[in-house]
Structure 1
Amino acid sequence: MASPMELSCWGGDWGLPSVHAECLVVMAYARFSGAPVKVKIIDHCWRAPRGRVPLLISDDTVISQPAKILNFLRKQKYNADYDLSAKEGADTLAYISLLEEKLHPALIHTFWIEADNYYRVTKPCFASRIPFPLNWFLPRNMAGEALNRILLTKGGPPLFSMAEVEAQIYRDAKECLNLLSHRLGTSPFFFGNMPTTLDAFVFGFLAPLFKIPFPKVQLQDHLKMLPNLCRFCDDILSCYFRLKLLGVSPVGPDTVDANLQKLTQLVNKESNLIEKMDDNLRKSPQHPPRKLTTLKLSRTGEGNSSPNRLSP
């Protein structure tokens, strides 16, 4: 029997299982590979053993960073890339590097550095999940770390101002989205009919950008002009996470939910009838509860509530 594995992640909102891109990557891969991972929502990272998420704990092993977590899952025989050829494996590494280099900086900028997005969406979202008084300064620290990362990786000659850095970041990101859209084409996933590691990374980076209602939406607007990438995100959410999508009503999950709601209502209704019957019987002096099996319910007018009638 496989060892229990616990994955610590940021919580979700706006129809997403998590608002954190790297958490989404690992959560999606676990679903794709069938790994028995129990997700533990940690909405304040200081509670995680290493102060960051995603974080996978299995027995005495503690692993952070998406690439390392995915490698660990593969060693445990949960491999979503089992059917890929050597060339497809090489393509996967190349595209993941492209995502990290071109798209991830723009995602960080959209969340943490773009002022309107930060003050109206990102900060309220994260601060609402962090206990007082940490919610006053932890989001600000996260924004500072994001800015430092952008300046260290993207700042410098020939880009000397933040405006130039920002413009280049979004040019690179739009080019990356175009390449991903062209590579995906009309296929459900990047390597055919089954999702792989590349699909997990693309979904993790695109889904927050697609679903979260940012006020500054230049990159979001560009993504929405690429319908195959939007369909890709919606399909993974509906098929692998069973979440109700904003503006989309998948037939499968909604039908199941509707049937479950009807069944629940019916059971509650019949339970109320049974309770009323039981109350009446308990109040009757000639019919004590211990002799319910010998009662002739037709005398009291309750013979219509037979077991056959209670069947849905």
Structure 2
Amino acid sequence: MPASVLLGNIAVNEMAQEEEWSDDTKLFMPYDVEQILLADNANCVAVQTFLKMCNLPYKVDYRKNAEFMSPSGRVPFIQCGKYLVPELDHIVTFVNNKGKSLTSHLSDKQRSDMRADLSLINNVLVNAELYLTWVEPVTLKEVTIPRYSSVYPWPLGTILSYTKRAKVISKLKALQWYDKSIEEVYREVDKVCSNLANRLENNQFFFGKPTELDALVFGHLHTIYTTKLPYSGLWDTVRSYRNLISHTDRINSLYFSKKG
């Protein structure tokens, strides 16, 4: 990879405006069939959806070490020209800085509401997915360790898996998620889904037109639906909200079907 300007934990500055969006923009992510896990997959799908909503071209570049290549240590990240930009929120800012926005039609109140919902998803759904992936023992043994270690030789894969688990557990402990029961995790997810379902009501999109909130919700719900786990409790919680499922089906049809 050529030398690039890293735009992650630093603010996206005005220099990024000097370049047009590159048709050769790459989206780096782990292998989606054999390696990627629940939370990372949700974020990767959300970024792809956002870029499609913006009608911005990109090519997916699968790398087994994508998280170690990322400026923030999280996936996905894009390489656009000389810039490396990780994670949805930074990518949204980067795209906005180039004059492309999905939220220009929103009022200040709506922008505030959207930021609150984005924060709720990142603070609850992501933590729930991390809990189910790295704490719940059956899923850890049957899904997480085999997938995460699959692209590395033994014993490196096992070492990296438990190193990653230690980092996730440290984060969940700091956020007071580690000691939750699985039932408490499902209840937290249910609260978020209830809030989102009330926001969406019978509308096609949360704020009239597609925004990054629609992309993020789709990323998580579509991933929850398509990821096989030993227990169905997470999907059972989500699927009771029919308008959210319809929203997921709609976005999948619009942006990911062959017709769309």
Q: TM-score range by the shorter chain?
A: 0.7 to 0.9
Would you say the 8 A contact 1:56–1:63 is kept in 2? yes
1:229 maps to which residue?
244
Q: How many residues are paired up? A: 235
Structure 2 vs 1, CA of residues 135 and 26 (structure 1 numbering), >3 Å: closer, same or farther? Answer: same
1:35–1:73 CA contact under 8 A, matched in 2: no
Identify unmatched segments of 5+ residues in structure 2: 1-19
Indicate the residue corresponding to 1:209 in structure 2: 224
Q: Which amino acid aligns with 1:221?
A: D
Which residues of 2 match residues 94-243 of structure 1 at below 5 A? 94-128=116-150, 130-133=151-154, 134-154=156-176, 162=179, 164=180, 166-192=182-208, 194-242=209-257
Offset of residue 167 of structure 1: 4.6
1:40 pairs, out of 40, 61, 77, with: 61
**CA 1:171–1:46 in structure 2 vs 1: closer, same or farther (change >3 Å)?**
closer
Q: For residue 51 of structure 2, what is the aligned residue in structure 1?
A: 30
Cα deviation 1:187-214 (Å, max 9, x = unaligned)? 221112x310111111122222122121
Equivalent-residue separation in structure 2 for 1:46 and 1:55 (angstroms): 9
Pairwise CA RMSD of aligned residues? 2.6
Task: For residue 154 of structure 1, give the secondary structure of its aligned residue in structure 2.
Answer: coil
Q: Which has the higher helix share?
A: 1
Deviation at 1:46, TM superposition (A): 5.8
Check 1:215–1:53 CA distance in 2 against 1; reply closer, same or farther (3 A cut).
same
Higher deviation after alignment, 78-87 or 43-52: 43-52
| Residue matched to 1:7 | 27
Structure 2 Cα separation of the partners of residues 140 and 91 of structure 1 = 38
Cα pair 1:210 1:230 within 8 Å, conserved: no
Structure 1 gaps of 5+ residues are: 156-160, 244-251, 254-312
Q: In structure 2, what residue type is equivalent to 1:184? A: L
Distance 1:184 1:46 in 2: 33
> Given that residues 107 and 205 in structure 1 are in contact (C-alpha distance below 8 angstroms), is that contact kept between their aligned partners in structure 2?
no
TM-score where L is the length of structure 2: 0.79
Q: Which moved more, 1:46-55 or 1:76-85?
A: 46-55
Distance 1:215 1:49 in 2: 30
Q: Which has the higher contact order (CA 8 A, sep 6+)?
A: 2
Asked whether the equivalents of residues 9 and 23 of structure 1 are also in contact (C-alpha less than 8 Å), the reply is: yes
Q: CA distance change for structure 1 residues 72 and 83 in 2, over 3 Å: closer, same or farther? A: same
Instruction: Give me the whole-angstrom Cα distance separating, in 2, the residues matched to 1:126 and 1:238.
Output: 30
TM-score, reference length from structure 1: 0.67
Cα deviation for residue 5 of structure 1 reads 2.2
For 1:72, what is the secondary structure of its paired residue?
Answer: helix
Once the two structures are aligned, what percentage of the paired residues are identical? 25
Would you say the 8 A contact 2:186–2:237 is kept in 1?
A: no
2:195 match: secondary structure = helix
Is 1:184–1:228's contact at 8 Å kept on the other side of the alignment?
yes
Q: For the Cα contact (< 8 Å) 1:35–1:78, is it kept in 2?
A: no
The residue identity in structure 1 corresponding to 2:99 is K
